[in-house]
């Protein structure tokens, strides 16, 4: 019998805010964070709106002794560090990140070897101002880039640690250093499935007793010209809604026009139930003590699969959604449930027609007629597609929805694809025994997770 | 009782060649694959040399579906050739009743190489001297105009780090669990360890695992040169990679791929593939230093934890280990700390356990390094031969173990431990053992 594993801390970072309260309130109110891009002038690109994370000072989210290291954190890394800080505090953890590292009296919730970190990341683009500032020192007389000057002199204008700002594993590395998590650590780079695969892998690590707690999830930002170029090249962006940001993303709607990119993601703390209860009496729906941390939900099923399609690399899904069906079936099998036990789906649902259609087909093949009754809540109209952070954010919100027994508002779906229960609707109370989270994306990697309402 | 996991296929694409037997022979011979960098003009960089895959390497010789792979980057090209060799060697190419939903992939492959010339041109075209109060900066509109004119969708998409994975899935119709991890220089060792765990827990029957990577490109060399991590011995590339030698001055970039087919023993037996079994994977350990992004802790606590966890997972002691495949990069810091970590873990057995670094011959394949090194361990078990650490002529008092200096050696090899440590403090160890039914 493997260990029971629960979500005890949620750190979402999105256009809606930097903690669970601000995100949850906005999602329930149906407020969209999508608006004109502020990070750079997007006039040269087709899509000019995004869900950008509100301004923050990274130095406020790291211990004093670690402030210097924030200089070598690309935006993606900063988002993960902020999310991990929020998750650790939400979980009521004492780590080197939440108490003064040199405080001899402060006890730690876990020994360093019992905490791991599995964090999804994307391809991080170098800051253009910084790099080009060095490139211009290596121009020939015609003003063109000169490789000889670059090698001999140009490169010296970059800071020695330049490379380390952009390695995808630096999200996990900074988080492990800040919280002194020395256990199993990983960085998953599978586009939009990264966050879900990272949570699934953390589940396995804790089940096999290689750690008691994992920081897991993912984060990404494409809010820079190079990132934005690559997104435009995927051919999935909605370029027709620049003047109507709040209506832009229409998940599973017959009038969907494409996706909008958000920045952010989430880190959640996944914990073995036995050690979670040991370290602190937890706040559960049955034990409503406000001083205690929460057990949001239990993770009872995880399935991963690959879609095979000749155009997988171009982000085209398998039309029949076979891979998605397979992932959902595996997750349900592990959770030992049937479609009748699922009361909420938090889908990928990005508002790209062929992607949504394939996902709908994948869902119906796994869930049958029960699918028509299960509310589907895509949060993408409010936070956009946060790529490597997307599925982590979905998991965070699904866990909160189970805990609150409430579904967030669903937006922008006036004419749903046939048979889907995802119409535009305000937030409402909902009895949720199990929630299904679905992740899929560019490249064809899929993951599904089953979260269960916690019962002792 | 954990299910037993066996290796039934191996394949690699390396600077010393692209097939198992040729490269293995050359490794035992102490040949070096390092020379002047050819794929771009590095002649004025602090480091002008690297270990490159032969420029006539062509993945299309290996694949059955060339159309879906058109336009792939180097990492995917290396991955396809290595995986196709492993697939063939495992006999799965002739096994028609394979359940493809139970065939997974776990790679540790790197990000692709930038479309550098066009990227540089777009950046210069977008430069505005007057921005940021006269310090200069990018005018995003001008940048976008030029970038959209000269850069292409295919080339950008193929740089995504999950692309080798996606292409292998298309080539082999793998529908099972699919992952790419990118934990710097530890990535493919970690991938093999995690793939083993996936098989052990019954989530798949067969996994394609390993890694592919090149950082031999203008910004890759820039990044490592700025970190002063590379050897600068431009006058003597062939002797530049000197792991454990007192006069070592950094690592040498290599490129390529190593791929393995691993499966549950039950599955291998059920398909009648006992004769394809090359070795058994018996232990895996993974840890984080949680120390600094730039340095290794002096006490090597992360490396020690990874080795100890792998030994415990295997149910073995250090006395059982016949050979250690070192991370052995040839940087001052790595080699002395790794030596210290091995001493801490192995105690009295440290001096009597041979440990070598084939990075002395192949350079450092970054994300792909661990997979290639684990394949060398498999071959060491098969042939009873240990590959040498070449260029080891000046002893370092801090590095006083048996590094199989300069000459390969015959030895009874039943169990090998392979280490990989990555920037940022990622540590992974995998243990392989001679297969006994």
Q: Determine whether the interchain pair B175/A167 forms a contact, defined as Cβ–Cβ distance below 8 Å.
A: no
Q: Determine whether the interchain pair B426/A179 forms a contact, defined as Cβ–Cβ distance below 8 Å.
A: no
Residue tagged active-site, from B327, B377, B399, B416: B327
Instruction: Indicate if B16 and B139 belong to the same structural domain.
Output: no
Give B28→chain A minimum CA distance, Å: 33
Instruction: Indicate if B375 and B414 belong to the same structural domain.
Output: yes
Range of the domain at A32: 5-125+166-452
Residue A144 in domain: no
Report the alpha-carbon distance of residue A234 to residue A313 in Å, rounded. 9
Instruction: Indicate if B147 and B285 belong to the same structural domain.
Output: no
Residue B334 in domain: yes
Tell me which chain B residue has its CA closest to the CA of residue A223: B140
At A233, which CATH number?
Answer: 3.40.47.10
Report the alpha-carbon distance of residue B394 to residue B403 in Å, rounded. 12
Report the alpha-carbon distance of residue B241 to residue B251 in Å, rounded. 6
Residue A367 in domain: yes
Residue B23 in domain: yes
Residue B294 in domain: yes
Report the alpha-carbon distance of residue B296 to residue B426 in Å, rounded. 10
Chain A residues in contact with B121 by the CB 8 A cut-off are 144-145
Q: Which residues are A284's β-sheet partners?
A: A287
Report the alpha-carbon distance of residue A139 to residue A147 in Å, rounded. 9
Residue A214 in domain: yes
Range of the domain at B335: 11-111+161-433
- Final residue belonging to a domain, choices B151, B176, B203: B151
The total domain count for chain A is 1
Q: Determine whether the interchain pair B424/A172 forms a contact, defined as Cβ–Cβ distance below 8 Å.
A: yes
Instruction: Indicate if B386 and B422 belong to the same structural domain.
Output: yes
- Let me know: does B349 contact B321? Beta carbons within 8 Å: yes
Give B91→chain A minimum CA distance, Å: 22
State pTM to two decimals. Answer: 0.97
Give A115→chain B minimum CA distance, Å: 10
Residue A31 in domain: yes
Residue B40 in domain: yes
Instruction: Indicate if B123 and B253 belong to the same structural domain.
Output: no
Residue B136 in domain: yes
- Let me know: does B214 contact B113? Beta carbons within 8 Å: yes
Has B185 been annotated as catalytic? yes
- Cβ contacts of residue B72 below 8 Å, gap of 6+? B59, B80, B158, B163, B167
Residue A385 in domain: yes
Instruction: Indicate if B335 and B264 belong to the same structural domain.
Output: yes
Residue B419 in domain: yes
The pLDDT assigned to A198 comes to: 98
Instruction: Indicate if B265 and B232 belong to the same structural domain.
Output: yes
The total domain count for chain B is 2
Q: Is B139 helix (H, G, I), strand (E, B) or coil?
A: coil
- Let me know: does A427 contact A28? Beta carbons within 8 Å: yes
Q: Which of A66, A60, A99 is nearest to A82 (CA)?
A: A60
Per-residue pLDDT reduced to its tens digit, B119-144 = 999 999 999 999 999 999 999 999 99
Q: Is B54 helix (H, G, I), strand (E, B) or coil?
A: coil
Burial of B202 (0-12, 13-18, 19+ CB in 10 A): exposed
Phi-psi group of B210: left, alpha or beta (phi > 0 → left; psi -120 to 50 → alpha; rest → beta) = left
Instruction: Indicate if B138 and B179 belong to the same structural domain.
Output: no
Instruction: Indicate if B126 and B255 belong to the same structural domain.
Output: no
Residue B314 in domain: yes
Instruction: Indicate if B264 and B348 belong to the same structural domain.
Output: yes
Count of CB atoms situated within 10 Å of the CB of A439: 32
Choose the mutation target among A186, A237, A307 for the interface with B, i.e. most B CBs under 10 Å. Answer: A186
Helices (H) and strands (E) in chain B, counts: 14, 16
Chain B residues in contact with A174 by the CB 8 A cut-off are 293
Residue A421 in domain: yes
Tokens linked to B322: 């016949």
Instruction: Indicate if B104 and B122 belong to the same structural domain.
Output: no
Q: Which residues of B86-100 are buried (b: 16+ CB within 10 A; e: fewer)?
A: bbebbbbeeeeebee
Per-residue pLDDT of chain A (456 residues; tens, 9 = 90+): 689 999 999 999 999 999 999 999 999 999 999 999 999 999 999 999 999 999 999 999 999 999 999 999 999 999 999 999 999 999 999 999 998 656 666 788 999 999 999 999 999 999 999 999 999 999 999 999 999 999 999 999 999 999 999 999 999 999 999 999 999 999 999 999 999 999 999 999 999 999 999 999 999 999 999 999 999 999 999 999 999 999 999 999 999 999 999 999 999 999 999 999 998 776 665 555 545 678 999 999 999 999 998 887 877 889 899 999 999 999 999 999 999 999 999 999 999 999 999 999 999 999 999 999 999 999 999 999 999 999 999 999 999 999 999 999 999 999 999 999 999 999 999 999 999 999 999 999 999 999 999 998
Has B327 been annotated as catalytic? yes
- Cβ contacts of residue B415 below 8 Å, gap of 6+? B282, B316, B320, B321, B322, B323, B381, B431, B432, B433, B434
Instruction: Indicate if B142 and B219 belong to the same structural domain.
Output: no
Q: Quote ipTM for the complex.
A: 0.97
Q: Determine whether the interchain pair B423/A185 forms a contact, defined as Cβ–Cβ distance below 8 Å.
A: no
Chain A residues in contact with B178 by the CB 8 A cut-off are 190, 304-306, 444-445
Q: Is A406 helix (H, G, I), strand (E, B) or coil?
A: strand
Tell me which chain A residue has its CA closest to the CA of residue B195: A201
């Amino acid at each position: 019998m493997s260990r029971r594993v629960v979500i005890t801390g949620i750190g979402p970072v999105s256009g809606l805010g930097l903690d669970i309260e601000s995100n949850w309130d906005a999602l329930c109110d149906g407020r969209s964070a999508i608006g004109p891009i502020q990070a750079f002038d997007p006039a040269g690109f087709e899509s000019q709106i995004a869900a950008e994370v509100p301004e923050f000072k990274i130095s406020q989210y790291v211990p004093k002794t670690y402030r210097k290291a924030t200089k070598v954190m690309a935006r993606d890394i900063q988002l993960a560090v902020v999310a991990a800080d929020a998750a650790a505090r939400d979980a009521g953890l004492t780590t080197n990140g939440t108490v003064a590292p040199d405080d001899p009296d402060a006890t730690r919730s876990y020994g360093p070897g019992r905490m791991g970190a599995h964090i999804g990341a994307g391809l991080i683009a170098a800051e253009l101002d910084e790099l080009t500032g060095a490139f211009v020192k290596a121009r020939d007389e015609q003003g063109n880039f000169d490789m000889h000057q670059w090698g001999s002199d140009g490169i010296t204008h970059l800071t020695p640690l330049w490379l380390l700002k952009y390695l995808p594993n630096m999200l996990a590395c900074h988080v492990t250093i800040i919280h002194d998590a020395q256990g199993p650590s990983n960085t998953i780079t599978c586009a939009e499935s990264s966050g879900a695969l990272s949570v699934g892998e953390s589940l396995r690590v804790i089940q096999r007793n290689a750690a008691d707690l994992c920081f897991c999830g993912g984060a990404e930002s494409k809010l820079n010209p190079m990132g934005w170029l690559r997104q435009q090249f995927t051919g999935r962006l909605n370029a027709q809604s620049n003047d109507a940001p709040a209506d832009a993303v229409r998940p599973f709607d017959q009038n969907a026009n494409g996706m909008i990119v958000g920045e952010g993601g989430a880190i959640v703390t996944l914990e073995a139930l036995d050690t979670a209860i040991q370290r602190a009496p937890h706040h559960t729906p049955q034990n409503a003590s406000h001083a205690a941390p929460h057990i949001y939900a239990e993770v009872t099923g995880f399935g991963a699969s690959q879609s095979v399609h000749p155009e997988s690399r171009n982000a085209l899904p398998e039309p029949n959604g076979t891979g998605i069906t397979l992932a959902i079936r595996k997750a349900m099998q592990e959770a030992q449930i049937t479609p009748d036990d699922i009361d909420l789906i938090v889908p990928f649902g990005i508002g790209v027609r062929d992607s949504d259609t394939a996902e709908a087909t994948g869902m119906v093949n796994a869930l049958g007629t029960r699918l028509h009754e299960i509310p589907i809540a895509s949060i993408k109209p409010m936070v956009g597609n946060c790529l490597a952070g997307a599925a982590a954010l979905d998991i965070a919100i699904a866990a909160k929805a189970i805990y609150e027994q409430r579904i967030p508002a669903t937006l922008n779906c006036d004419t749903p694809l046939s048979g889907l229960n995802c119409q535009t609707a305000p937030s409402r109370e909902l009895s949720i025994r199990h929630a299904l989270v679905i992740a899929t994306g560019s490249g064809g990697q899929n993951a599904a997770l089953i979260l269960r309402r916690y019962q002792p | 009782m954990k299910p037993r996991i066996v290796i039934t296929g191996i394949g690699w694409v390396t600077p010393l060649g692209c097939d198992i037997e040729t490269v293995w022979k050359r490794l035992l011979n102490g040949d070096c694959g390092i020379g002047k960098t050819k794929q771009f003009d590095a002649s004025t960089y602090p480091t002008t040399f690297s270990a490159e895959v032969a420029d006539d390497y062509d993945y299309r010789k290996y694949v059955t579906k060339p159309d879906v792979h058109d336009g792939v980057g180097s990492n995917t090209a290396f991955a396809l050739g290595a995986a196709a060799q492993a697939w063939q060697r495992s006999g799965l190419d002739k096994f028609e009743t394979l359940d493809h939903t139970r065939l997974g992939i776990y790679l540790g492959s790197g990000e692709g190489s930038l479309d550098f010339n066009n990227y540089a041109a777009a950046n210069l075209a977008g430069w505005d001297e007057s921005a940021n109060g006269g310090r200069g900066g990018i005018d995003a509109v001008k940048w976008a105009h030029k970038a959209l004119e000269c850069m292409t969708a295919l080339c950008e998409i193929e740089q995504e780090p999950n692309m080798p994975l996606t292409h292998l899935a298309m080539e082999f119709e793998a529908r099972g669990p699919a992952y790419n991890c990118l934990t710097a220089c530890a990535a493919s060792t970690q991938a093999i360890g995690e793939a083993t765990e996936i098989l052990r827990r019954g989530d798949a029957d067969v996994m394609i695992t390993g890694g592919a990577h090149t950082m031999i490109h203008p910004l890759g060399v820039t990044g490592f040169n700025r970190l002063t991590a590379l050897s600068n011995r431009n006058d003597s590339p062939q002797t530049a990679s000197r792991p454990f030698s007192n006069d070592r001055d950094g690592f040498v970039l290599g490129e390529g791929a190593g791929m393995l087919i691993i499966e549950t023993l039950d599955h291998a037996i059920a398909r009648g593939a006992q004769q394809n079994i090359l070795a058994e994977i018996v232990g895996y350990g993974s840890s984080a230093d949680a120390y600094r992004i730039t340095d290794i802790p002096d006490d090597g606590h992360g490396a020690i934890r990874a080795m100890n966890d792998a030994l415990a997972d295997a149910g073995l002691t250090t006395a059982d280990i016949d050979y250690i495949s070192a991370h052995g990069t040839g940087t001052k810091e790595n080699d002395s700390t790794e030596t210290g970590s091995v001493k801490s873990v192995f105690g009295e057995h440290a001096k009597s356990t041979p440990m070598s670094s084939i990075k002395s011959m192949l350079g450092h394949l970054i994300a792909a390094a661990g997979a290639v090194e684990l394949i060398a361990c498999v071959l060491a078990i098969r042939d009873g031969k240990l590959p040498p650490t070449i260029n080891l002529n000046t002893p370092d008092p801090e590095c006083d173990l048996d590094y199989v200096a300069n000459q390969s050696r015959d030895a009874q090899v039943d169990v090998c431990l392979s280490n990989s440590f990555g920037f940022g403090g990622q540590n992974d160890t995998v243990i392989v053992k001679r297969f006994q039914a």
